[in-house]
Structure 1
């Protein structure tokens, strides 16, 4: 067995120690938020709650799920993420497939226009005016239509489609398959890794977006939970939220409410964060292959 030099051992130890500290610094804030969400609010305000709940309770989550607005917000977020991800990936993939065709008239011009939009945007006010003129204000479709096409994702799709053997499409055309048939029956089934990777990135973007609803949505039934969480963090609706719940359903300690702003915020944060985190393990195996697609040479 080859002996490892002392200097190499020190280097390896230093690398592992650095990675452990880096992982801990990234994971601990999330873990502490989870711990606080399961801890009694008044006890948390005393400080010292770090790795484990000191006074375990589910009262914070009861408050969250008893409020109809937060439940509706969660449903809106889930619906937006599912519909928005599927539609965006499908539309972007169709556009990318069309851009791989060398006989497409004006293909280079279209590509220049697409890339131009990656660097220059119309701005918030013109975008707002366009959305309003399209009648998308206070509509669920304001979450979907403006984000149907991602130029960056289109370029990655296009690069991946170019790596597919030309003989596959030629064989399908000989068998009488149309372009739509080739796309749905041949190209998409072979694009699992890139679809999974870009689909996850798109889903995370939809799930985490709180800014767009704060501008285009005034109907409380269409506000996603992320925007509500932002409002809670700004302390805009904490008092209204706690007062809207029957006081008999809130546990009391020495005649005082056990719920605090911090504990309620952490519980809402967990409800808004855990669902999207649970998706990662199911698509992890596609990441290594999927994230390298855009680095392939054309």
Structure 2
């Protein structure tokens, strides 16, 4: 038997749906507008009026972007950083969280306070720069990996999830002679699929979007991630400024066409940079509800 909805509830539902629709539109429209601008002739875009659809369709902006060797190298660096950084960070953070669940760990409470303290206080930019320089991380790919090996927030989430697993699983494994490493790899990790998938996505997005480290520690253009290159492009206000980002072949092509502007190239690059990480979401979305709500319910 269906429950009748009162007029007040109907009005409330309508208001909620309208609010969510407007919120979704406000979030999606900037991205959609960037797509429209990137697919429009640059000179025509400069006239204004491009909102939802390109007025003069063209793929020339993407053609120039994809012909630039430096951008392709930046993509390789960014993808390598995401893959290596995500795997190592999740693995090291999970090991730390597993150790923090051991009740027999001496000084466990002290370690926990110490870790949480680092979430709110840091040494600052200059001491961090001096530390990384002393470690030999200048102009090194490892500067993207080592400083991000441990995430205290992710460790807390892992720890909460591990503590929620049935204690009988570890007890039975210990009786059978399984070591801590065996318990971690054979029991804990196989049961942690949702939280691993969720935190892996958050970590990967963080690595993909991060551009600040390269601007400080990297001088070698072959190690520049695509996000740093994009920032340089966004800071360019005139077409000639694009020469600092595009290679000579691309610049010659741009000058020959006379239909390309810095804004159209910038929008095309933004779409190219954003699209890969957007495509990852549908594959891990099913883990979000269970993974994000870890520790929110207690029975």
Normalised TM-score (structure 2): 0.94
Task: Pick closer, same or farther for the CA change 1:77–1:247 going to 2, 3 Å.
Answer: closer
Hey, what does 2:274 align to over in structure 1? 273
Hey, what does 1:282 align to over in structure 2? 283
Give deviations 1:58-92, integer Å, cap 9, x for gaps: 11111111111111001100000010001000000
In structure 2, C-alpha distance between the alignment counterparts of 1:189 and 1:150, rounded to whole Å: 21
Task: Pick closer, same or farther for the CA change 1:38–1:183 going to 2, 3 Å.
Answer: same
In structure 2, C-alpha distance between the alignment counterparts of 1:241 and 1:292, rounded to whole Å: 42
Normalised TM-score (structure 1): 0.94
In structure 1, C-alpha distance between the alignment counterparts of 2:106 and 2:283, rounded to whole Å: 40
- Structure 2 unmatched runs, 5+: none
Give deviations 1:215-263, integer Å, cap 9, x for gaps: 11111000000011111111184133457225664486xxx61110111
Task: Pick closer, same or farther for the CA change 1:171–1:38 going to 2, 3 Å.
Answer: same
Is 1:135 paired with 2:136?
yes
Hey, what does 2:208 align to over in structure 1? 207
Please give the root-mean-square deviation of Cα atoms over the aligned residues, in Å.
1.8
Show the 5 A alignment for 1:12-161. Answer: 12-161=13-162
Task: Pick closer, same or farther for the CA change 1:24–1:36 going to 2, 3 Å.
Answer: same
* Partner secondary structure for residue 227 of structure 2: helix
1:240 to 241, 244, 265: 244
* Offset, 1:8: 2.9
* Offset, 1:293: 0.8
Contact 1:60–1:259 (CA<8 Å) still a contact in 2? yes
* Offset, 1:175: 2.1
Contact 1:155–1:294 (CA<8 Å) still a contact in 2? no
* Offset, 1:53: 1.4
Give deviations 1:177-236, integer Å, cap 9, x for gaps: 221111111100100010011111100100000111111111100000001111111118
Contact 2:119–2:152 (CA<8 Å) still a contact in 1? yes
- Structure 1 unmatched runs, 5+: none
In structure 1, C-alpha distance between the alignment counterparts of 2:91 and 2:226, rounded to whole Å: 26
Show the 5 A alignment for 1:147-296. Answer: 147-235=148-236, 237-241=241-245, 244-245=248-249, 249-250=253-254, 257-296=258-297
In structure 1, C-alpha distance between the alignment counterparts of 2:129 and 2:229, rounded to whole Å: 21
Contact 1:73–1:228 (CA<8 Å) still a contact in 2? yes
The count of residues paired between Structure 1 and Structure 2 equals 295
Contact 2:37–2:267 (CA<8 Å) still a contact in 1? yes
